[in-house]
Amino acid sequence: MFHVSFRYIFGIPPLILVLLPVASSDCDIEGKDGKEYQNVLMISIDELGEFIRTERNLDSSPGLNTRFTDSMIEIDSNCLNNESNFFKKHSCDDNKEPLFLNRAARKMRQFLKMNISEDFNLHLARVSQGTLKLSNCTTKGKGRKPPSLGEAQPTKNLEENKSLKEQKKQNDLCFLKILLQKIKTCWNKILRDAKEH
Amino acid sequence: MIVHLNDKQENLKRHDPITHPWSEKIMTILGTALGMVFYLLQVVSGESGYAQNGDFEDAELDDYSFSCYSQLEVDGPQHLLSCAFEDPDVNSTNLEFEICEGLLEVKCLNFSKLQETYFIKTKKFLLIGDSTICVKLGGKHITCQKMNIVKRVKPEAPFDVKVIYREEANEFVVTFNTSHLQKKYVKDLLHEVVYRLEKNENDWMHVNISSTKLTLLQRKLQPNAMYEIKVRSIPNTNYFEGFWSEWSPSSHFRTPENNSGKMDPVLLIISIVSFFSVALMVILACVLWKKRIKPIVWPSLPDHKKTLEQLCKKPKKNLNVSFNPESFLDCQIHKVDGIQARDEAEAFLQDTFPPQLDDSEKQRLGGGVQGLNWPSQHAVITPKTFGGESPLRCLSGSVTVCDVPVIPSSRPPDCREGGKNGPHVYQGLLLGAGTTNSTLPPLFPFQSGILTLNPAVQGQPLFTSLGSSQEEAYVTMSSFYQNQ
């Protein structure tokens, strides 16, 4: 008994102390003055928003709007349900802004496979790579492969497969749009905090 | 023991390396040599730049030094990065340029060569952080430089410089265009506008502006001269920095002649008319000053002394006055009763007339004024109250006059003719200096100058120049106003 108590007293706390640095991440953000964000990243984020709007047929033409109104609402609700886990896990909380930006930038890389257009990919890469460059995180976790967007399930006929692909594309674009909005909000929060201090 | 210790001390001193002279020298030499070696090593290693793999040779560093500049969105979304050797004599036959880091989707990109300039046109610049540009010879890195592309931006040259003259404002409006107005990244520029007289070389005037419009005032330029003007730009943001762009194509403009001698015709007419109007007003003012303007602007106050002198004018020399009763035969003489009247009349005559009257006349006058009770107040005498040859009537408002007895007085020879000459005396007394030529009817014509002093003797109206002169001698307030 005496040896057991010693094990718990003198063994576990050091273990906790050793494991804490592994569990926590050390992230720091550069460019708190906002120069890189306002002159480069924000331009690419806005360009991506235009691409997404165009791809999702959200233009002002009345014909298209009346035709796709119901389907758009369904798509928005679906994409939020499917990918909302990411936003549940990661949020731009206080003192966690660099970490959130780092995670969001890593998440954006998976959309490069969508191949919408060359300019779309370049802007996406600029936002992702630029954010990663500015948010220095020294987390030494296992090398994670960027989560894939998911593969299409084999379907019985081509038409079903096509519609599923289209729906998935819309979902991805919806999620990307929300992700870009979150990144923008988090950057604005960082700049606001930097001005206050 | 003590001796042993002393021996030991001596041995220690003998073999102490610090205090031994030879050891000191050796140490000094060794230290100097090592220092020199390290210094030489540092000098030789120098600051030739960063090497990724460390296998570069710095012997020919100065020959391969280069400089670069970037132009963003020069061809749509594509950016341009240009590099060139600073030494134009460098043999760049087999040399290549390569850029790594700071790129999107790729790790490194190779430059293209155009004559002596190396360039790369791509969309894949990250525009955040540094990039590494290296000179390669046969796959080996000769020299490298780390630089940030956004800090080496060279804007495109402005164009379409126009100068418009605004005559109504007497100014020149300079406008120009730049392709950066439609760009996303480098939008804010600082423009330098320079202009000079064509004949004055190297005498440029500089103006820095942030917009694409400039105003030059005509008065700051020489008239009737030809000017040359051109523009260049540089990034003016807190993130993008770089170099001046190339100069825009020069534009020329001529300033108009000095038009101070010419005047607007309408303005000329107005100025002439106003001049003549002012001259006319001045002339009229001078002419009418004494008669019309001065009495209104500076009215003269009545001078009592002058007024009195005018009232008491001496009779004319040719005035024929006589107190001979025979001259009054045609006149109706009314007897005047009353001693008081006589006394007062005498007193008045002594004051107003020279003492030329005879004693007989005086007695006559004195008898005539007996009982005459002159009114102590001034009588308001009006021409209307007297008729031509009618007997004297009572003065309006002077009841006491009617009660006064008739004064016997002499009659002038021309009594019948009326008092045209005679009353002049009395008129002069009453009316003052200002009315010597007045046309007023005689207040006291001799014929009508007889005062009805006693109602009981109205049948013999007695005219006395004395009485009328006494009446007329009373000064009225109106005479003062008339004298003015």
Tell me the pLDDT tens digit for each residue of B245-256. Answer: 999 999 999 999
Q: Name the band, by pLDDT with cuts 50, 70 and 90, for residue B50.
A: very low
Given this model, what pLDDT does residue B121 score? Answer: 96
Instruction: Yes or no: say if B143 and B32 are a contact pair by the CB < 8 Å rule.
Output: no
Q: Select from B254, B250, B253, B255 the least CA-distant residue to B193.
A: B250
Mean pLDDT for the stretch of residues B394-404: 41
Q: What is the mean pLDDT of chain A?
A: 75
Mean pLDDT for the stretch of residues A87-94: 86
Given this model, what pLDDT does residue B161 score? Answer: 97
State both tokens at B420. 């045209």
Given this model, what pLDDT does residue A149 score? Answer: 52
Chain A contact set for B188 (CB, 8 A): none
Considering only CB atoms, B185 lies closest to which of A35, A39, A125, namely: A39
Number of C-beta neighbours around residue B348 at 10 A: 18
Considering only CB atoms, B127 lies closest to which of A38, A40, A134, namely: A40
Query: Which of A9-13, B74-78, B352-356 has the least mean pLDDT?
Result: B352-356
| Chain A contacts in chain B segment 218-257 (CB below 8 A) | 237-240
Considering only CB atoms, B128 lies closest to which of A36, A38, A122, namely: A36
Mean pLDDT for the stretch of residues B130-138: 93
Across B102-106, B308-312, B479-483, which has the greatest mean pLDDT? B102-106
Share of chain A above pLDDT 90, in %: 27
**Who contacts A192 (Cβ-Cβ below 8 Å, separation ≥6)?**
none
Inter-CA distances, B432 with A82, B314, B463, B476, Å: 127, 11, 23, 10
Mean pLDDT for the stretch of residues B37-59: 56
Give start and end residues of each alpha helix (H) in B161-303. Answer: 265-287, 294-297
Given this model, what pLDDT does residue A87 score? Answer: 85
Residue of A30, A32, A37, A40 for testing the chain B interface, max B β-carbons within 10 Å: A40
Given this model, what pLDDT does residue A31 score? Answer: 78
pLDDT at B146 over 70: yes
Chain A contact set for B240 (CB, 8 A): 39
Residue of B103, B104, B148, B238 for testing the chain A interface, max A β-carbons within 10 Å: B104
Q: Name the band, by pLDDT with cuts 50, 70 and 90, for residue B265.
A: confident
**Who contacts A52 (Cβ-Cβ below 8 Å, separation ≥6)?**
A173, A176, A177, A180
Residue A86 or B325, more confident: A86
Q: What is the mean pLDDT of chain B?
A: 73
Share of chain A above pLDDT 70, in %: 68
pLDDT at B405 over 50: no
| Contacts across the A-B interface (CB distance below 8 Å) | 43
> Would the CB atoms of B129 and A133 count as touching at under 8 Å?
yes
In this prediction, the answer to ipTM > 0.85 reads no
Given this model, what pLDDT does residue B158 score? Answer: 97
pLDDT at B60 over 60: no
Mean pLDDT for the stretch of residues A89-97: 87
Chain A contact set for B184 (CB, 8 A): 43
pLDDT at B359 over 90: no
Share of chain B above pLDDT 70, in %: 58
> Would the CB atoms of A39 and B105 count as touching at under 8 Å?
no
Mean pLDDT for the stretch of residues B33-58: 61
Instruction: Yes or no: say if A194 and A32 are a contact pair by the CB < 8 Å rule.
Output: yes
Question: How far, in Å, CA of B270 to CA of B260, rounded?
Answer: 17
Residue B38 or B283, more confident: B283
Given this model, what pLDDT does residue A80 score? Answer: 56
Instruction: Yes or no: say if B132 and B100 are a contact pair by the CB < 8 Å rule.
Output: yes
Inter-CA distances, B247 with B134, B161, B236, B251, B346, Å: 30, 11, 17, 11, 120
Question: How far, in Å, CA of A32 to CA of B438, rounded?
Answer: 110
Nearest CA in chain A to B187: A39
| Chain B contacts in chain A segment 131-150 (CB below 8 A) | 133-134
Q: Select from B94, B95, B106 the least CA-distant residue to B131.
A: B106
DSSP B289: I
Given this model, what pLDDT does residue B43 score? Answer: 67
- Give one DSSP letter per residue of B343-365, joined into a string: HHHHHHHHHHS-TT--HHHHHHH
Considering only CB atoms, B128 lies closest to which of A118, A119, A130, namely: A130
pLDDT at B244 over 80: yes
Chain B contact set for A125 (CB, 8 A): 104-105
pLDDT tens, residue by residue, B163-203: 999 999 999 999 999 999 999 999 999 999 999 998 888 89
Please state the φ and ψ torsions of residue B128, each to the nearest 5 degrees: -135, 125
Mean pLDDT for the stretch of residues B273-301: 89
Mean pLDDT for the stretch of residues A27-35: 84
Given this model, what pLDDT does residue B351 score? Answer: 65
| Collapsed DSSP state (helix, strand, coil) of residue A141 | coil
Query: Which of B83-92, B298-307, B363-372 has the least mean pLDDT?
Result: B363-372
Given this model, what pLDDT does residue B179 score? Answer: 95
Q: Is B119 exposed, middle or buried (0-12, 13-18, 19+ CB in 10 A)?
A: middle
Question: How far, in Å, CA of B130 to CA of B100, rounded?
Answer: 9
**Who contacts A33 (Cβ-Cβ below 8 Å, separation ≥6)?**
A191, A194
